[in-house]
Structure 1
């Protein structure tokens, strides 16, 4: 049975969707393979419609963005693993339970993280293998890689540079001090015309998960940074929640 959650009722949803957006898929990334990123999963509907990205962190546990459950019936969501294309191949598993961070707020996007349990364990292989959650967030100007699916349904990488939180919320870009909470951080694609995928897409540094694509103002224009869930900041919550599933 699915575990439910409670969060603030979303107000002015239409206005929110107009102003805050992400690309429907990676745009301008570099083609890659699931063998290079065996932890990457696709949250999708039974008909194959891709909804969000995610990361396998244990043999039956996936971490993704909380927002992925807001507009979908969780009973209709599945996880596809072990494939270069979310539209075919790999293994499609149902979700036995999930928990959304109780502090998730869809108006601010704070604590945008959810943990879900798969209906069965995933056997390790070159295309199915978990990744560890980082113990700390990398320092400013370090480079990480976001992996997600392009509009052609293929896995692509986007290299991004981590931006100092104070600088990101200073107004130099499009964010102010109220936009970026301690549970978030910013990273900017080196190519200003690149977009880095859907919510839940994993950002990895030195083979450890440091962030999940969460939100951003605009995409593929004027080099705006994307905002990521800081999984290191929420690491204790993730570990505690896994025991409840």
Structure 2
């Protein structure tokens, strides 16, 4: 018995434990190449989290309002419908990480949306948050854009905090995730036929778990396939009725908008707009810029 115990202690001492201490050498700055900080998957995470790219958008009026994905030094990807009500009131908005308890956060300068986007519609439901400065931290990462064609039956990973499902339980500052399959688009359209929701050419659907407590679906929250961002939660139903599919914006169809906006910022063609004195009463303000 003593020999067995001694052997077990020796194994624990020498066995290569899974590392949860990945740290980057430097903070992100405005010139950090995305490829140097790409998320490499759950096995490379910096703790019991889902990666240094996963953020949430908070506002002084409504606490958490959107999920967000860190794409490049100054840009985060969210749902346009999610951020739209706050586009003229960004003074109290910030992005906060889910992967560290350190005082790491970012302030928002402006929001870019496609010119074709219309509030409460699903077409081109994407927005880019422009930060005042890159997010600091030795665990902060970027996520790659989707490079895989989305097809029926693919299993993807959904993330959420529960801020859009507070009727089912209290929201958490810590994200949860779950596996969901992509649903046939024709089946999804039939399920929404008697509602006001109309899928667009930039939408796709996933099947929610039957158990509402396992549903992961908050506005702007990401959907990943492997190590890539393939969808963000679009305007649609909540977890209170999981018979209805979850609707996501297809990142594959947003790549041109995202990369074009990034390029125009880098070239200085999109400058940070001046904030109006009374943002809420200034519908002509360019605080929310259509790219």
Give me the TM-score of the superposition, normalised by structure 1.
Answer: 0.75
Q: Secondary structure at the match of 2:252?
A: coil
Q: Are 2:148 and 1:136 equivalent residues in the alignment? A: yes
The structure carrying a bigger strand percent of its residues is 1
**C-alpha deviations, 1:68-125, integer Å up to 9, x for none?**
33222123211112536xxx64412111332112111124222110112222223463
Q: Report the structure number with the largest CA radius of gyration.
A: 2
Distance 1:40 1:175 in 2: 33
Question: How far is the alpha carbon of 1:48 from its aligned partner?
Answer: 8.0
User: Which of residues 128, 136, 153 in structure 1 aligns to 2:173?
Assistant: 153
Q: Is the 8 A contact 2:51 2:99 kept in 1?
A: no
The residue that corresponds to 1:109 in the other structure is: 122
Residue pair 1:192, 1:221 contacting (<8 A) in 2 also = no
Q: Distance in 1 between matches of 2:76 and 2:240?
A: 28
Match of 2:15? none
Partner residue, 2:192: 174
Q: Provide the aligned length of Structure 1 versus Structure 2.
A: 207
Unaligned regions of 5+ residues in structure 1, if any? Answer: 1-32
What is the SS of the residue equivalent to 1:215?
Answer: coil
Q: How does 1:48-63 map to 2 (within 5 A)?
A: 49-63=63-77
C-alpha contact (below 8 Å) 1:147/1:202 kept by paired residues: yes
**Structure number having the greater helix percentage:** 2
Q: 1:39 aligns with which of 53, 60, 64?
A: 53
In the alignment, the residues of structure 2 paired with residue 136 and residue 191 of structure 1 have an alpha-carbon distance, to the nearest angstrom, of 27
Q: TM-score when scaled to structure 2?
A: 0.64
Cα distance in 1 for residues equivalent to 2:53 and 2:176: 14
Residues 112, 127 of structure 2: 8 Å contact kept: yes
- Which ranges in structure 2 are unaligned for 5 or more consecutive residues? 1-46, 163-170, 266-291
Deviation at 1:184, TM superposition (A): 0.5
**Aligned pair in 2 of structure 1 residues 137, 195: CA closer, same or farther (>3 Å)?**
same
Is 2:239 the counterpart of 1:219? Answer: yes
Shift in alpha-carbon separation, 1:40–1:185, aligned structure 2, 3 A: same
Structure 1 pair 159–133 and aligned structure 2 pair: CA distance change class (3 A): same
2:112 aligned partner: 99
Change (3 A) 1:152 1:226: same
Partners of 2:71 and 2:77 within 8 A in 1: yes
Q: Which has the higher contact order (CA 8 A, sep 6+)?
A: 1
Q: Give the RMSD, CA atoms, in angstroms.
A: 2.5
Is the CA contact 1:34–1:82 (under 8 Å) kept in the aligned structure 2?
no
